[in-house]
A and B are shown apart, each in its own frame.
Chain A
Amino acid sequence: MATFKSDASHSDIELRKKTVPRSKVILKQVIKRYDLYLMLLLPLLWYIIFQYGPMYGLQIAFKDFNPALGFMGSDWVGFEHFERFFSSYYFGRLLWNTFSISVLSLVIAFPIPIMLALLINEIRSTALKKWVQNVTYIPHFISVVVIVGMLSLFLDPDSGFVNVLLQSFGKDSIAFLEKPEWFKTIFIGSNIWQSMGWQSIIYVAALSGIDPQLYEAAKIDGATRFQRIIHVSLPGIFPIIIILLILDIGQFMNVGFEKILLMQNSLNLESSEVIQTFVYKNGILNGDFSYSSAIGLFNSIINFILLVLVNHFARKKAETSLW
């Protein structure tokens, strides 16, 4: 459209077009590309049914959902489910677990791929560099079920190698997976093991895009290699760090709940029950659809608000943002 306007005075054809109303021009463009819309039809239908359908269905958070009556037919109950959730005794615990796991992940697990990328960037030997990269990517391809299975094998109080090692030092074995105080450490630690390599890819790519002249200049100015990391490498990847941080915070409340669900047992529930696992149990297992939808909505809204806030803040302070 922009080119149409600027070129309008230059050719007769454009002049003639100009007299035709804008809506008609657009209509013509649409008709000419009808087959593109045909292609879009199926994917759009999928988005409407499987993404916007559930959003529409969220109204049951404010209703007393009756499967026989459907989303629309059920009776409104206002904020009843929310009030019940906020005043329940487990509300505090759920919120605390969800928040603490998220905050710990952001503080501990988020910087590690950055450090790994900086390390990879400093490796001089190409062979070693390739090794470190390819080996650290491997765990990303292992399924959550297998990862948690490995944890339970390694940490088994009788036969797991961690405890066999502890015993050989004369220590008592620890049933790690049954101890609430160990849950967060194991969860975040194994997350780091699984994803640090994969998440470092983007940073490594960004680091390789930094102008070598900047390093040369820093070197001439007498900067040590460590100083070059701090003053050249890090600022070079700062925008991408911010973007990934925003995306992570947008998932703040979700805390990788599929893995948490697999790691849960009745003994560690005190520190492993998070909002999403609670929604699963109440909704899918107990069939309390309205109540768990309300809790899910609460979760999504916090995520969304955090995303908008962080994005706004990043745009103001770091001049980098998603939109």
Chain B
Amino acid sequence: MTSRTKGISDGKVFDFLVGVMSFIILAVVLYPLIFVVSASFSDPSRVMNGEMWLLPKGFTVDAYTEIFKNSDIWNGYKNTFIYTTLGTFINIILSTLAAYPLSRRDLPGRNIFMFLITFTMFFHGGLIPTFLVVQDLGMVDTIWAMVIPNAIATYNLIVMRTYFQTSIPWELQESAMIDGCSNIKLLFKIILPLSKPIIAVMVLFYAVGHWNAFFNALIYLRDDQLYPLQLILREILLVNQLSGTESAGMFGMDEKILLGESIKYALVVVASVPVLIMYPFVQKHFVKGVMIGSIKG
């Protein structure tokens, strides 16, 4: 009897602790995000003196109007949009073309190809030789440097292959082939229509990667007209070049510096919103993608 009551109270204390820890984690993860959003809508002087700590104080959208006046940021947005769309398109085509044949158990030489592909996950030429190859191909300072050197992510390719292999019944493919269906027709008429979930996951994985990438742009692009949003952000947030905000000059010097701070907060929001907005809709697919990947390990 005593041991049973002890067990119950034990469970309750445990549940309480679990609840407390959950709320601490929620607070730690959410606070910086809420702070950034609130700061971007606040009077910058009230952010700097610590008056604004959770919700916007002295509501204003000045920072956002400044951002939308800035042509560099618009241009960066446009470039990122192009790289993301074109890049993801190429990613999907190449990944599918590789993943499907490699999922076919009746393909002679499949293991050799798989070895060649998986090996690159664990050993690669490295930064400099890759750069030299891309340079030799004349891709430096062109849009192609943004979409071709990263045309396939081996991890994603393996996830896709695993899906084709485990989620589409082999008997279905076999019977289609007995009916005289060619492999190409098989891929387009049977496999792809059955693979919408994995295609969705791949589009999301690749698109988020392109949207957030900055390093390839940093090494391959010289012309700032080609810069993606992330590089523009890097300059404004980290290298501190507030070009194009001369219009802030109509305020005094102090206001300009202050506004500069709140522009940075607003920029963080503007750059992250496109990805975060679609997040609630696609969250389930993302998780599924990670799990398919983990089957193979």
Contacts and interface: CB of A to CB of B under 8 A. Distances in A.
Interface of A: 26, 29-30, 33, 35-37, 39-40, 42-44, 46-47, 49-58, 60, 67, 70-71, 116, 119, 122-124, 128, 131-132, 134-139, 141-146, 148-150, 152-154, 158-159, 161, 164-165, 167-168, 193, 197-198, 201-202, 205-206, 222, 224-226, 240, 243, 250, 258, 261-262, 276, 279-280, 283-284, 289, 292-293, 296-297, 299-300, 303-304, 307, 322
A40 B124 contact: no
Contacts of A283: 127-128, 131
B208 interface: yes
Contacts of A165: 50
Contact of B212 (A56, A144, A261, A293): A144
User: Interface size class for chain B?
Assistant: 35 or more
B248 interface: no
B275 interface: yes
B110 to A, nearest CB: 9
Interface in B76-120: 94-95, 97-98, 100-102, 104, 106-109, 113, 116-117, 120
B124 A42 contact: no
Given A135-B30, A153-B268, 10 more contacts: A36-B100, A40-B98, A40-B101, A50-B133, A54-B132, A132-B25, A197-B29, A224-B7, A224-B10, A279-B128
Given A36-B101, A159-B48, A168-B50, A279 B127 contact: yes
B249 interface: no
B100 A39 contact: yes
B272 interface: yes
A57 B125 contact: yes
Contact of A40 (B28, B30, B102): B102
B122 A304 contact: yes
What secondary structure prevails in chain B residues at the interface with A?
A: helix
10 contacts: A35-B182, A36-B101, A49-B133, A52-B120, A53-B129, A60-B129, A143-B214, A145-B271, A158-B48, A296-B127
A75 B215 CA distance: 31
Contacts of B58: none
B111 to A, nearest CB: 12
Instruction: Choose among B53, B149, B234 the residue with the greatest number of A CB atoms under 10 Å from its CB.
Output: B234
B133 A54 contact: yes
Nearest to B19: A128
Contacts of B1: none
B265 interface: yes
